A and B are shown apart, each in its own frame.
Chain A
Amino acid sequence: MSEATEVAGGGPEEEARRRPLAIECRGITRRYAGVVANDQVDLEVAEGEIHALVGENGAGKSTLMKMLYGLEQPDEGEILVRGEPRQIDSPRTAIELRIGMVHQHFMLVDNFTVAENIVLGSEPHRGVRLDLDEAERRVGELASGFGTPLDPHARLEDIGVGQQQRVEILKLLYRGADILILDEPTAVLVPQEVEELFASMRQLKDQGHTIIFIAHSLDEVLQVADRITVLRDGKVIGTVDAADTTTEQVAEMMVGRPVLLRRVEGKATPGEPMLQVKDLRVVVGGKEQVAGLDLDVRHSEIYGLAGVEGNGQAELVEALVGLRRPDTGRIYLGDDELTNADVRTRREHGLAYIPEDRQARGMVLQMLVTENSILGQQERRPFSRRGWLDFKAIRARAVTLVRDFRVKTPSVAAPAYALSGGNQQKLVLGREFASDPKLLIAAHPTRGLDIGATQFVWQELVTARDAGVAVLLISSNLEEILALADRVGVIHDGRIVAQFAGSEATMSELGLYMTGARSGEEPAA
């Protein structure tokens, strides 16, 4: 498809046509070593609109944005900025053209103040001396016209993620950017913060700024965007008006067939507790990351642990898996106390673990798909016998995994780095599901996966649950928690501050507990 199919629409669409274009891409193509990331992409972004860019993993959204910000160069096609063809050969050029980008990972200095962070790179100065007063004054001015107040003297490490994001945006405004690119801005936020971000975005739009943003959650996109462009396999599938489309329609454009994420039903018949945690404390660097936490996960149950990242989930998981020694408390797997047992012992007791960072902790990229498909199970028969590996059995396992979990790989004898990110993830997920677990600890299992793969992983989690596995699902994605969990616990500051039956939990209520806005109630299942 070489041309964007404009879906004829009513108001905003026509209005957008009348307005001058902030950005226009014509026939942009970008190849990486033979892989076409962007294929004849046409994109029109009108001045003063909020334009969302959606698509599955690897659809080419990030590549396109990198080209707009000068981090990559198109192989073919041209980019027009405010009607004029431009060569955006570096971020510096982009900034000169008043284009700014907020990356998913913030580019901020933790021990600088808000003001210092914002002026960094173009500091006001008096002679050779930095004029901090002037900086703070200007930042205060900027911030006052934009959302809730922000203290310019606050140190960055002391403010929340939502505020840090505002610092990033202010930084762009300070440099005079009026075309803002936001790469998955909502991924790091809790629901309340998302609302605030959207309010800020609307405010910016009213001031005449143009915003292009990448998002995964279609509900969010429909809430805030004026128009939505869908990418699939590097091509533009179409641009639609947010006002007259639905989540289903956009999802179908993304995937190429009808798809809808919904609560996966199965038969939850919780049995005996498989995992019991009593008064667990984990102190890291003097800070009590897990502060007297109690938890139990039963057989045939998915326990969803919701929480804003950094509230002790990572340390809790490490203690449960055996990667970190708890300071006090007890951990039971089945009837056995395994508080200080090593990973191997726990795995022998039926633990399976899907680490949060699957490429770094779940696999060895330089090793083969076959070898990766038994990692963690290398002790087991038939993969090894008396210390010798059985390659026939290992290959058979790899072939099964690749087939059942639809891992796209040239061969099971290929190194894991030859697989795309999504497929690497599926390999790890598949391996842990296939390890015949009694307890499955899944940390953010669908992070970075697209809709199709997410649905698949959800289904697998439910299938495991129905087969009697106790599943501890850690996720900061509330949709996921609500779709899957039979019980939901909210973790805040290292404690479980609330517990709900899965069917009774609501997004807003969870959000309140997650941010600490509500607490103190006795956990009740």
Chain B
Amino acid sequence: MKVEERPPAPPPEAEPEVAARIPWSQRLQAFALQLLAPAVSLLTAAVIGALVILVVQQSGSDVVAVASAMWDYGITNPNSLAFILGRATPLIFAGLAVAIAFKAGLFNIGVEGQYAIGALCAAFVGYQLSAPTVLHLPLTILAGMAGGMLWALIPALLKVYRGAHEVISTIMMNYVANGVLLYLLSGALKDTAQRGAIAQQQTPQVEPTAQVGSMVPFFNSLGFDFRGSAPLSWFFLAAIAAAVVYALTVRRTRFGFELRVFGTNPRAAEPAGIRSNAMVMKAMLLSGAVAGLVALQDVLAIDDRMKLDYIRGYGFTGIAIALLGRNSGLGIVAAALLFAFLDRASSGIGLNTDVPKEVTTILQAVIILTIVVAYEVVRRMAARRQLREQHERA
């Protein structure tokens, strides 16, 4: 490699022009390159999905049927958008929770358990407390965040003081959460006022003062025509706001800077005065707090109570979403919408075709697999391009 290094003494050459910014054209190019990876992986996934249908069903017409069902039910159906936005809401929170930890180089697999505990705490405050909405709702939401935080605190402490790897401890905490939930929902927190043959293991209904309203009327006032029962609440707006705050924090604040330094090269963080332990604690607690918000839409806006069938897999999907969205706020929102669309489309497949709707699950899995490969390929392309440009300049 060519390196030119000159001592200061000899002739005062022309001041080298230092480009302070990357020109817009190049930035656009770089952005396009970033979009290339998800696009390629989506395409690959679609092709593989089609092949799977061909193999399983042994008919080409089923591929067409699936595609049109996905299109009809996922996009053209007037209620689709409401379902997709509503479904994306917990996924955005989950993706953000995973991404915060990712930024600090931590792998929080415990979002699943953290939102379960968060939801339980929120439900408890929601039905126990009676206070006016302005007080009750914020307290309920805070309780949810605190619950998630508490569940993330334990792995964080274990890591800082005992060096326990967070992957192991967060997975274990998921099982503990499961047990705690089962115990409390069938015991102390069980709704005893239920009637009917089989009493469900669920909490009492949260007070109306802690409930969050549907966003459907708002959208309909804008000219949409959503069904009133569509699972879309104001939490969607909160999720978008959280993504914006996340993006700003990571890119624009000192904390975000330190988080990124620690996450990419912890060995360089220490000499720069960034305390590793503090970073681990902060990142895990924030991750847990956001995780605590994941299931609040279900508890406060849709079911209005905490049910035992809480295991909805948001936490694990969140890992895929953070990966697909490259840990960026915008990317996570986009990835969550995509996964929500696939969920919605899978209902269409189930309703309108003979093909098992699990095909979309296969699609999701293939997307995740191909995205990893595609990102790496694009990263190498970009690195090569950079090197070439550097040489041309030299």
Contacts and interface: CB of A to CB of B under 8 A. Distances in A.
Nearest to B392: A34
Which residue of B4, B257, B383 has the most chain A CB atoms within 10 A of its CB atom?
Answer: B4
B386 A362 contact: no
Contacts of B383: 417
A367 B386 contact: no
Contact of B273 (A379, A415, A422): A379
A323 B1 CA distance: 34
Interface in A444-464: 449-450, 452-453, 455-456, 459
B15 interface: yes
B261 A367 contact: yes
B343 interface: no
Interface string A400-433: 0011001011111111011111110010000000
B391 A34 contact: yes
B22 to A, nearest CB: 4
A378 B3 contact: no
B223 interface: no
B254 A389 contact: yes
A57 B5 contact: yes
A398 B5 CA distance: 18
A35 to B, nearest CB: 5
Given A360-B265, A364-B265, A367-B261, A414 B5 contact: no
Contacts of A398: 20
A360 B384 CA distance: 22
Interface in A361-416: 361-367, 371, 375-376, 378-379, 384, 387-389, 395, 398-399, 402-403, 406, 408-415
B8 interface: yes
Interface in B207-262: 252-255, 257-258, 260-261
A128 interface: no
B265 A365 contact: yes
B388 interface: yes
A60 B20 CA distance: 31
B132 interface: no
Contacts of A384: 254, 257
Contacts of A423: 3, 5
B357 to A, nearest CB: 40
A45 interface: no
Contacts of B196: none
B264 interface: yes
Given A389-B257, A412-B18, A343 B386 contact: no
B56 to A, nearest CB: 42
A364 B6 contact: no
A77 to B, nearest CB: 19
A56 B3 contact: yes
A417 B383 CA distance: 9
Interface residues of A, number: 67
B163 interface: no
A388 B252 contact: yes
A58 interface: yes
B180 interface: no
A409 B387 CA distance: 11
Which residue of B255, B267, B383, B389 has the most chain A CB atoms within 10 A of its CB atom?
Answer: B267
A389 B253 contact: yes
A389 B252 contact: yes
B3 A422 contact: yes
A1 to B, nearest CB: 15
A257 interface: yes
Contacts of A389: 252-254, 257
Given A342-B273, A387-B253, A35 B2 contact: yes
A321 interface: yes
19 contacts: A35-B387, A57-B5, A321-B271, A323-B271, A343-B275, A366-B264, A376-B271, A378-B258, A379-B254, A388-B253, A389-B252, A389-B253, A410-B393, A411-B18, A413-B19, A415-B386, A418-B387, A452-B5, A455-B9
Given A360-B265, A367-B260, A420-B1, 12 more contacts: A32-B1, A343-B272, A363-B268, A364-B260, A364-B261, A379-B273, A384-B254, A388-B254, A410-B393, A412-B18, A413-B19, A455-B7
6 pairs of A and B residues whose beta carbons are closest in the complex: A344-B273, A58-B3, A376-B272, A411-B19, A453-B5, A34-B388
Interface of A: 32-37, 56-58, 233-234, 257, 259, 321, 323, 342-344, 347, 353, 355, 360-367, 371, 375-376, 378-379, 384, 387-389, 395, 398-399, 402-403, 406, 408-415, 417-423, 426, 449-450, 452-453, 455-456, 459
